[in-house]
Amino acid sequence: MIEVTSLTKVYSSAASTVTAVDDVSLRIDSGQIFGILGRSGAGKTTLMRCLTALERPTSGTVTIGELELTSLSGAELRRVRHTMGMIFQHFNLLASRTAAANVAFPLEVQGVPAAERKQRVAELLDLVGLSDRAGNYPAQLSGGQKQRVGIARALAAHPQVLFCDEATSALDPATTEQILDLIAEINRRTGVTVVLITHESEVVRRICSGAALMENGRIVEQGALLELLTAPRSRLADILLPVGEPANLGAESSVVLSFAQGHAQEPVISGLTRRFGVDVSILGGAVELIAGRKVGRLRVVISHPTGAFDRAGVDAYLAEHEVSVQA
C-alpha cells in the first residue's frame, strides 16, 4: 500500500514561492491501477517525484509498503529508487544501446550475473511482445515499441510499484490503447501496483480502478473509480462521463441519471415511460465500459403531458433499478 500524508512541496526562490503540491493525502491499495488526473501545472509531476523519492517534500510523509521514504538517508533513498519501476512520456531510453541492452541496464547496475540477466531480459521482452526486436536500437523502433522497452526495463528489478509519468501522451490513440492494455495485463499477471499521472481522461477510463483528481496542487477527489463516477456532484464524473450543462424543458429542469450496475438502460427508461406515462428527453450523456461494467450518466428531462407526475414513484423505480438521480 502507498500512503501519502499531508504532503506539501514548496519551491522557493528570491523571485517567487510556488506551492506545487499542497497538503495532499492519498491512499493507494496494493495491486490497484490508480490514476492521478490533472491539467498541466496541477502538480502531478511534482507529486510523482515525491512518490518516487526524486524530490524531498517540504513537509508530510510518503510510505510505500513498510518504508517511510521521507525518513530515509540519501544513500538509502538511492537504493530504494532502484526498486521502483518508472516509465516516462519520452521513454528515456539509451540511444546507444539495443532494446535488450536497455532492459539489461538496471540489472547491470544491481550487479545481477550475466547469465541470469540474459534470461530475465528475454522473459521481459517476451512479456511486452518485443522478442523479435531485441537487437534493435531505439532509433529503429516506433514510439509504441520504445514504450514497450521502457516498460520491460521498469519491470526488470521486480518493482512493487510501476510509476507511469504521462506514459502515453506522446503516442497516437491506437498505440495508446495497446500500451494501456499491456499495462493492465501486466498488472493482472504480476499483481504490480500501478500509479499513473496523466492529463488524458481516456487513460483513467480505460484501465484505472482507483483515481484522484488534482487541481492547483490539491487532490480534490479520490477513491474507487466506479464509486466516483456515480457519486453526486463528482467533478471526476463530469470530466470522464460528461453530460452537458443543466437545462430546462418547459416547466421541468434536467436531472442526471447515473448507473453502474450493468442494467440495460434502454429498458429502464422505456419502463419509466410505460409505467408512469412520462416523457424522457435525453439532452446529453456518456456510456462507457469501465472495469467490465456498463457505466453511464445521462442528462434527461422527465416530464408529463399534464404537467404533473408521480415524482416519488419515478425516483423509487429508478432506485430499484440502481439508477441514481441528481438535480
Q: Which chain residues interact with ligand ATP by CB under 6 A?
A: 11, 18, 20, 38, 40-46, 199
Which residue is listed with cell 522497452? Answer: 149
Of residues 50 and 269, the one with the C-beta less far from ligand ATP: 50
44 vs 117, which CB is nearer to ligand ATP?
A: 44
Q: Minimum Å distance from CB 214 to ligand ATP? A: 7
Give the start-end residues of each E strand in the chain.
2-12, 17-28, 33-38, 59-64, 67-68, 85-88, 161-165, 193-198, 210-215, 218-224, 248-249, 252-253, 255-259, 279-290, 293-303, 323-326
Q: How far is the CB of 22 from ligand ATP (least distance, A)?
A: 10
Q: Residue 163 and residue 3: Cα distance in Å, rounded?
A: 15
Residue 172 CB, nearest distance to ligand ATP (Å)?
A: 19
Query: CB of residue 12 vs ligand ATP: minimum separation in angstroms?
Result: 8
Q: Can you read off the three cell numbers belonging to residue 137?
A: 536500437
Q: Are strands 255-259 and 279-290 parallel, antiparallel or unpaired?
A: unpaired
Pick between residue 40 and residue 306 the one whose CB is nearest to ligand ATP.
40
Q: How far apart are CA 224 and CA 213, in angstroms?
A: 12
- Distance, in Å, from the CA atom of 302 to the CA atom of 314, rounded to the nearest integer, reads 9
CB of 8 to ligand ATP, least distance (A): 12
Q: Please, which residue, 38 or 138, has the CB nearer to ligand ATP?
A: 38
Strand 210-215 vs strand 252-253: parallel, antiparallel, or unpaired? Answer: unpaired
- 8 A C-beta contact, residue 129 and residue 111: no
